[in-house]
Amino acid sequence: MNIIDLSACEAVCLMRSGEMSVTEYVNALIIQLEAKSDLNAFILYDVKKIRHDAKKLDDHRISGNECGSLFGLPLAVKDNIETSSYITTGGTGGLSNYLPKQNAPVLQKLLANGALVLGKTNLHELAFGITSNNSIYGAVRNPYNPEMIAGGSSGGSAAAVAARITPFAIGTDTGGSARIPPALCGIVGYRPTMGRYGSVGAIPISHTRDTLGTMARDVADIQLIDQIITDQIDVTELTDLKTIRLGVSRDYFYENLDPDTAKRTEEALQVLKELGAEIIEVNIDNLMALNDAVSFPICLYESIKDMEKYIAQIGISFSELIEQMGSHDVKDFYETCLKQPPFTEKQYHTALYEARPLLQQAYQCYFEENKLDAMVFPTSKLTARPIGQDENVIINNVETPTFNAYIHNTDPSSNAGLPGISIPIGLSSENLPIGLEFDGPVKNDRKIMQIAAIFQKAVGQLAKPE
């Protein structure tokens, strides 16, 4: 096996034992990074620093010191997550010289356990979009077809993992950004229960919805990182799915899927049945209306307030930030909202304190009344589309707004604060990845990981991109 194909767990095991040096591993990844530079997955990386950090770890082990649980693991870090050793640009011009004083707490915990930063990954400008078509740093390209988007906003992180540049990446997720890019790039993506990882040290969009998330090619890697971040160890381990009940809400989540996504999803449901899971066909009543009452009123209101607070700490004005934006969709949004906020404070409070609890209650009742361990649905209604289709895409011969099309299935659980994990289930007729998501009740993160791990073992990983 080529060492760039190693999972995070496999690589760490070999480096901790000394069977493979950290230097040997990072050198192989650097070669792959440069060979796949056309994907534009990274905004920043420093080969000299990577090799210096690797040697330092190798010397640490050779000297007989204890090696951390993530010893030698190179992490790709989305460039809206603060790093003290790299500028954090947020993918925007106004922050191109911003060097944070410290690492984001989640990242710091991983580094304290022996990981190292491989580089900062490209993203949709300020993480405010779904395509990662960044007008300043260039579009992130899909490893399975470079003419296609990698998804957003964590497109660079997902592309880097899929292209074997890194075994693991950190991203953020406000409404699907740690699950949609993995689905489009053929890897695993995880959004934790709201508050499990938090969003401290990340450039904000909406504090009610923002969270850090993780990406890998193997669920076991997601589980390893989660244990380290949370110090939570599984008390019981699922060995099969024979006692598991999975909800299928065809209203909303299964409507207007592109044909390949629909086909692969039904095949995946059959695999779950064969693994012993009981599929319960029951809908979440009135989900669209419940979600619409929460989604934009909270996100768009908080986006201005949270950004104002964040950049004030840096010492840059909103007008300076906007002036140096390159992506028209992001720039137009902020300019418009500053002139005329789309929602009043009263509308925001209604969404936050009245509508959101109703959405959360609907999910809670769905899981409890139907005795469900999780629900399952296609992560995205459609596969990756060509770079440049930022405003509209075609699904089943109907033109649909691009943002709404991709975020449709991941948005409700983001607003409710639920955990979700996306698993690749196959390729479309055009050889583009398709993802399946498992969402669970609040704080049931470890259980949905276990379900996903058993399922992934059955379906296997996708063939790697050429």
The active-site residue out of 36, 78, 331, 381 is 78
Judge contact between 331 and 269, C-beta under 8 A. Answer: no
Nearest CA to 107 among 88, 134, 133? 88
Answer yes or no: 17 catalytic: no
Query: What tokens appear for 280 in the block?
Result: 């319960």
Residue 12 in 3-state DSSP? helix
Judge contact between 129 and 327, C-beta under 8 A. Answer: yes
Answer yes or no: 153 catalytic: yes
| Calculated CA dihedral for residues 159, 120, 127, 264, nearest 10 degrees | 20
β pairing state of 116-121 and 42-44: antiparallel
The active-site residue out of 21, 135, 153, 380 is 153
Buried b (16+ CB within 10 A) or exposed e, 429-439: eeebbbbbbbb
Answer yes or no: 78 catalytic: yes
Query: What tokens appear for 99 in the block?
Result: 């060097």
How far is 366 from 355, CA to CA, in rounded Å? 17
Query: What tokens appear for 84 in the block?
Result: 């003290």
How far is 212 from 225, CA to CA, in rounded Å? 12
Query: What tokens appear for 452 in the block?
Result: 């996903």
How far is 124 from 162, CA to CA, in rounded Å? 18
Nearest CA to 380 among 281, 264, 214? 264
Judge contact between 48 and 93, C-beta under 8 A. Answer: no
What is the distance in angstroms between the CA of the first residue and the CA of the last residue of the chain?
16
The active-site residue out of 177, 206, 295, 380 is 177
Nearest CA to 216 among 206, 225, 208, 203? 225
Judge contact between 378 and 254, C-beta under 8 A. Answer: yes
Query: What tokens appear for 373 in the block?
Result: 């361990």
Residue 42 in 3-state DSSP? strand
Judge contact between 430 and 205, C-beta under 8 A. Answer: no
How far is 269 from 303, CA to CA, in rounded Å? 37
The catalytic residues are 78, 153, 177
